[in-house]
Amino acid sequence: MPAIEQPRVAQLVRETRQHLNLSQVKLATMLGVSFHSINRWENGRTQPSPLAMKQIQELLHQMGEAGEELLAKYF
């Protein structure tokens, strides 16, 4: 998986969460990370680990058409 630039990672996490209609807390629970991690990712302060990025990709695959559009846009 090619590296995504920090601003695009923040945008990817936010768009994924919004398409799933989840709060930061609920997305954090799904990914097994803290709310603070999601918040930092969306604000561009840190990046998800490779494992978390893989989990985000899996969520996108499960979303169907909307997820495929995000996959094409970011990966």
Q: What is the pLDDT of residue 75?
A: 85
Residue 6 pLDDT level (bands cut at 50, 70, 90): confident
Q: What is the pLDDT of residue 67?
A: 94
Backbone angles phi, psi at 13, to 5 degrees: -60, -45
**More confident position, 42 or 6:** 42
Closest by Cα among 70, 9, 18 to 40: 9
Tens digit of each residue's pLDDT (9 = 90 or more) over 21-72: 999 999 999 999 999 999 999 999 999 999 999 999 999 999 999 999 999 9
Backbone angles phi, psi at 35, to 5 degrees: -55, -40
Q: What is the pLDDT of residue 2?
A: 56
